[in-house]
Structure 1
């Protein structure tokens, strides 16, 4: 499956996806990587892997809709069948979601629906939860509100800081995201309203 990735930062989840694809455990081809940040390390990583990249700086567009229209054109040019958000720090608008003719996945560093949005690890520590984790979900028109595909629990340890918790959650993300994508591409994901059923084998219910 032809996948595009949008990332705003260092690209560690992109790297995990690329490594899984190279091992043959993830049947996708990442055909394009985009970012809203020209200095994103994810772009450097992609260029090193020979993947076409493009920057869509917000300052170059009169409004978000124009930026997202450009994104859609770019994805159609690359014949994208799947969009993966990997640390992309902009919320995709309702019109983009409606016009995209491919699934969109995101990974978030909390056990949604708890602690959506920015600084999820800080939110978890301030709330005093005993466990946190990460969630792979389908993207809908809300903020981190789409149907949940997979989650992994990460314990909150005594003395954890935002940085130490974030590091351990990131390790879980690197396992969870490729597995979620693999299940989707293998046809083992069935959506029933907000609920996601994971099929045990092809064609099973």
Structure 2
């Protein structure tokens, strides 16, 4: 984990949002950013594939967009360097993974370590990976939820910024649990990203503090 980091926002406080799918978390940030009091500007939206609804949402909002596909590069390291350069052009205060399904590499973390956050649809450290709601149901837990964390070199292992819980109902399916998690995940993401950018924060070992 990176050492202590501090991020503060002014009128220039901005985020780059990375997406791989429908972009509902992105939309929550875009909607919030329309209020000047929120204090955060979505500087650009990046994706790892073409033709997704997340990019369409960005286009409708008039936001700069870029696509960085792994298959367009000779190796993963080359892709990581290209993604790092594309994000760095926008000089964000934070980079937000909002359903971005690719693991970034050393170049990206060297540039944005401590400033890259991800929203995960489970209560970490339980159920990391891309099937959080399914794995929670299979395990039989009674409570699930969403976690915002600072990305590190592991898979969903970074320092936790915040968590919000939802009860697991007896008749839940993966889809119904996922939908209920999303309903609390979106406002948590908006709240915590806004606070991190507006008020600043520190990351020390595994502790994230927002003043």
TM-score (norm 1): 0.92
Whole-angstrom distance in 1 between the partners of 2:61 and 2:206: 36
TM superposition shift of 1:188: 5.0
Which position in structure 1 is the counterpart of 2:124?
A: 112
Tell me the alpha carbon deviations over residues 45-68 of structure 1, each in whole angstroms, 9 at most, x when there is no partner.
101111111111221111111111
| Aligned twin of 2:34 | 22
Corresponding residue for residue 51 of structure 1? 63
Q: Which residue of structure 2 aligns with residue 122 of structure 1? A: 134
User: What RMSD, in angstroms, separates the aligned Cα atoms of the two structures?
Assistant: 1.4
Residue in structure 1 matched with residue 171 of structure 2 by the alignment: 159
Structure 2 gaps of 5+ residues are 1-12
SS of 1:33's equivalent?
strand
Q: Would the alpha carbon gap of residues 31 and 198 (structure 1) be closer, same or farther in structure 2, given more than 3 Å must change?
A: closer
Distance in 2, Cα, partners of 1:84 & 1:185: 11
- Flag structure 1 segments of 5+ consecutive residues without an equivalent: 200-205
1:68 equivalent to 2:75? Answer no
Q: How far did 1:98 drift?
A: 1.6
- Does the 8 Å CA contact 2:94/2:197 hold for their aligned counterparts? no
CA gap of 1:189–1:81, structure 2 versus 1, over 3 A, is: closer
Q: Distance in 1 between the 2:36 and 2:183 partners?
A: 20
Structure 1 segment 190-201 matched on structure 2, within 5 A: 190-199=202-211
- Structure 1 residues 72-91: aligned runs within 5 Å: 72-91=84-103
Distance 1:97 1:24 in 2: 30
SS in 2 for 1:186: helix
Q: How many corresponding residue pairs?
A: 199
Superposed CA offset, 1:95-130 (max 9, x none): 321233660110000000000001100000000000
Runs of 4 or more above 6 Å deviation: none
Q: Say which is worse superposed, 182-191 or 113-122, in terms of deviation.
A: 182-191
Q: Which has the higher contact order (CA 8 A, sep 6+)?
A: 2
User: 2:107 aligned with 1:92, yes or no?
Assistant: no
Counterpart in the other structure of 1:5: 17
